[in-house]
Structure 1
Amino acid sequence: MQTDVIVIGAGTVGAAIAFGLTQRGQRVLVLDGDDGDYRAARANFGLVWLQGKGMNMPAYQEWTRRSVDLWTEFNNELADLTATDLQYENNGGLAFCLGEEGLEKRRQYLHTLHEQRGGNDLGFEMLDRTALEKLFPRVRFGREVSGASLGLHDGHANPLKLLGALHSGITKQGGALRHCSRVTAIIPGLQGFTVETQEERFSASRVVIAAGLGSTALAAQVGLHVPLRPQRGQVLVTERIAPLLPLPASGLRQTREGTIMIGATQEEVGFDTSTTGHAASLLSRKTAQLVPALADLTLVRQWAGLRVMTPDSYPIYAQSPVHPGAFVTLCHSGVTLAAVHATIIAEAIIAGELPSTLAPFHHRRFDVPKAA
């Protein structure tokens, strides 16, 4: 089977890129792995988030802002094509602060980020407790809550509906999506690439590796050496309640269905997707500290997923120096960055070259000699 682009990985990153490619008339084949693969896309919290991101990496602040700015149009196009409500809202988002020291520390952190990026738009407001209570009239906050930062560009969406809509959009626009097609080899040739699964072989002029934690081994086959590690995140979900939280917060949001999502841990435990009582206790205590009334809710679900983490936590976008038609795209903010993946990254792959603005995200940034 001959096609223009083969995308390896049908998670949120790969699916968004494939969706953008099919939008632009490319013949696209998406090869997805097996049901037992580690799938960050199915364990996502669903935030479309800008505030607090990009410390010491202004390029990541700018990249995230571009995606957030594009998200409304991206949402509308995808929803119209697939008749799917992604439940996207962008009315702002909060990061709660504990104690006056915590509030001041958050203020200083966000101002430092703004100074690193520059520009006139702060993108956030600091709310004291009185302002926070006016914004959440039905909530009685814990006594330690001193206020919050309000990210003016932040929002949230349903990550599973997003993934399903991307898959539907790919096929509606003429692309092909094959599940249970784990890639075993990428073979560069004079006219492009041959990609092998356990049962089939496919050919394309370009290959995009977006296979999450499986990308390291695949990228090495085309001369790209990308360092990755898994980081476990656990999330709790409560029973459904009447609308209580009008805005999402970092680690706490109410879904359109009424459940409260609570998260997420950051655990360096390797390739372990177990859930633990310790994490459930930790997340529950944190939530009760913020909004004591939530302690009375019944927990109905707990899950764990593995984030795709680079050494500095920022994305990798790279093109093979020896096989220029091969690209690798990796990040742990697949929902937030879906809009730029479907536009800027898709256009770059068609053009055959990543833009210079993405140079800070090349994995060569990790090739720094270690001090003796």
Structure 2
Amino acid sequence: MQPSPDPFVPHAAAADPGVGEVNATDLGTAGIAVIGGGVVGAAIAYGLTRQGEDVCMLDEADIAHRASRANFALVWVQGKGWLPAQDRAEPDYAILTRSSAAAWQDFAAELEAQSHVAVHFAGPGGFNLALSDDALEQRRIMLQRLDATPGVGSSGFEVLGRNALMKILPDIGPDVVGGIFCPLDGHVNSPKLLHALHVASQRLGLRFLAGAAVREIVPVTRGFRLATAAGTLTARRIVISAGLGSERLAAMVGLHAPVRPIKGTIMVTEKLAPFLHHPITNLRQTNEGGVMLGGSTEDVGYDDSVGIGISGALAARAVQMFPRLASASIVRVWSGLRVMSPDGLPVYEESARHPGAFVCLCHSGVTLAAAHALMLAPMLSAGRIGAPFASFKTARFDVPAPV
């Protein structure tokens, strides 16, 4: 791609981030540069490309802390929008999650048609299993309060006692007292999803630059100059969706987007005959037959090593819920770092200081992939973030703590 004939003159040099080296190779120009090639960035890039935008997606090398490694591949509605620490609902997040889940069937079909990659989306509804009557009742009350929040509406959840649950999940263990079913829940093959997004986007004309970690963003008169490990790219607009690297990059364009890593550990069993036809909050059987065990959260900074203790706890809980798993061999265990804002909610915002620079980050990239591609991307293409995404601006983090 040839550089634009318009002169790009820097306003001022950006602060040196002090991270890695910058390559001076000229990478040309792009209409929109999406920084980050994980599920969030790839979904946005796909959505922008299908809008006819000239998109370049820049991705770091595989040594990056990729949140996509730690996702459990659920398309999940049940409980989304409830903030336990504040004992209240965030209706716009519930609405956003449900809108995305409702769009997933058509989104998956479109993506598969564009990429010729099967993502194996299934939306049979999902369960949260309870190991005590008190836990079951507390969750019922929470979901009832969430659905009763103005603007949210019913999720159609249903509380099932043990006998009713066994008709659907006959392999549950004796400690499972019941569960809650939500018909809006589903799951997908996460690696296939990421691959499909990349393939479909590039078939539609996206330019993908791997090993192009962005070191510096310099606002210029008609856009932004990105200094990367692969060279320098100039773009009229940018979308920062670089996961845990987003805070550093957002600061370069006048945005405060604090994030912290939350470690999640995932285990996968050998391939088993199909027995689990609905995803569970913390375990699911994939289309390939293996059972994934997850649901852990550890606030341990950037340590992504696998701990024996947490692995043992995941395995013990899985066997308690489904005793037949006791004889299954674990074939893979890994940990990854999820992206978490201070309140656990997403961040979507355009810079007031440097219009045309957007930051988009969340910790539910798989669930929200349909919304990012089909709802958010057209807004970014038009240059304005609207509802319900507009509710998640970074100014909420600037509220003084109570004395």
**Candidates 133, 136, 152, aligned match of 2:166:** 133
SS at match of 2:388: helix
Match of 1:166 in 2: 197
SS at match of 2:224: strand
Match of 1:26 in 2: 53
Q: Deviations over 1:339-369 (max 9, x none)?
A: 1110221111111111143232111111111
Alpha-carbon distance in structure 2 between the residues aligned to 1:15 and 1:83:
16
Query: What is the CA RMSD across the aligned residues, in angstroms?
Result: 1.1
Alpha-carbon distance in structure 2 between the residues aligned to 1:95 and 1:220:
39
Alpha-carbon distance in structure 1 between the residues aligned to 2:154 and 2:81:
16
1:238 pairs with 2:273: no
Q: What are the residue-to-residue correspondences of 1:64-75 with 2, within 5 Å? A: 64-75=97-108
Match of 2:215 in 1: 184
1:367 pairs with 2:398: yes
Q: Deviations over 1:216-263 (max 9, x none)?
A: 110000000111100000011111110010100001100111101001
Match of 2:71 in 1: 44
- Supply the AA of the counterpart residue of 1:270: G
- Supply the AA of the counterpart residue of 1:40: A
**Candidates 15, 22, 42, aligned match of 1:15:** 42
1:311 pairs with 2:338: no
Any conservation in 1 of the 2:211–2:230 contact (CA below 8 Å)?
Answer: no
1:295 pairs with 2:326: yes
Alpha-carbon distance in structure 2 between the residues aligned to 1:119 and 1:13:
24
Any conservation in 1 of the 2:94–2:152 contact (CA below 8 Å)?
Answer: no
Alpha-carbon distance in structure 2 between the residues aligned to 1:120 and 1:53:
13
**Candidates 134, 154, 164, aligned match of 2:185:** 154
Any conservation in 1 of the 2:91–2:152 contact (CA below 8 Å)?
Answer: no
Match of 2:357 in 1: 326
Any conservation in 1 of the 2:56–2:206 contact (CA below 8 Å)?
Answer: yes
Moved over 6 A (4+): none
TM-score using structure 2 length:
0.90
Any conservation in 2 of the 1:54–1:60 contact (CA below 8 Å)?
Answer: yes
Alpha-carbon distance in structure 1 between the residues aligned to 2:52 and 2:324:
52
- Supply the AA of the counterpart residue of 1:60: Y
Alpha-carbon distance in structure 1 between the residues aligned to 2:339 and 2:393:
16
Q: Deviations over 1:314-341 (max 9, x none)?
A: 1000110111100000001000000111
Alpha-carbon distance in structure 1 between the residues aligned to 2:153 and 2:304:
42
Q: 1:79 to 1:199 in 2, by over 3 A?
A: closer
**Candidates 110, 114, 138, aligned match of 1:77:** 110
SS at match of 2:136: helix
**Candidates 229, 238, 241, aligned match of 1:198:** 229
* CA apart distance, 1:106: 1.5
Q: 1:264 to 1:120 in 2, by over 3 A?
A: closer
Q: Deviations over 1:83-125 (max 9, x none)?
A: 1110100010000011222221121111011112446533211
Unaligned segments of structure 2, at least 5 residues:
1-27, 83-88
SS at match of 1:145: coil
- Supply the AA of the counterpart residue of 1:101: D
Alpha-carbon distance in structure 2 between the residues aligned to 1:64 and 1:291:
29
* CA apart distance, 1:199: 3.9
- Supply the AA of the counterpart residue of 1:112: R
SS at match of 2:196: helix
Any conservation in 2 of the 1:99–1:145 contact (CA below 8 Å)?
Answer: yes
Q: Deviations over 1:280-315 (max 9, x none)?
A: 111011111111121111111110010100011110
Alpha-carbon distance in structure 2 between the residues aligned to 1:120 and 1:215:
33
TM-score using structure 1 length:
0.97
Q: Identity of aligned pairs, percent?
A: 45
**Candidates 351, 361, 367, aligned match of 1:336:** 367
Q: Deviations over 1:134-155 (max 9, x none)?
A: 1123x1x222211111111000
Q: 1:120 to 1:233 in 2, by over 3 A?
A: closer
- Supply the AA of the counterpart residue of 1:109: M
1:86 pairs with 2:113: no
Q: What are the residue-to-residue correspondences of 1:248-287 with 2, within 5 Å? A: 248-287=279-318
Any conservation in 2 of the 1:124–1:149 contact (CA below 8 Å)?
Answer: yes
Unaligned segments of structure 1, at least 5 residues:
none
Q: 1:272 to 1:117 in 2, by over 3 A?
A: farther
1:59 pairs with 2:86: no
Match of 2:20 in 1: none
Any conservation in 2 of the 1:62–1:117 contact (CA below 8 Å)?
Answer: no
Alpha-carbon distance in structure 2 between the residues aligned to 1:144 and 1:357:
40
Q: Which has the higher helix share?
A: 1
1:35 pairs with 2:65: no
- Supply the AA of the counterpart residue of 1:284: A
Q: 1:223 to 1:74 in 2, by over 3 A?
A: same
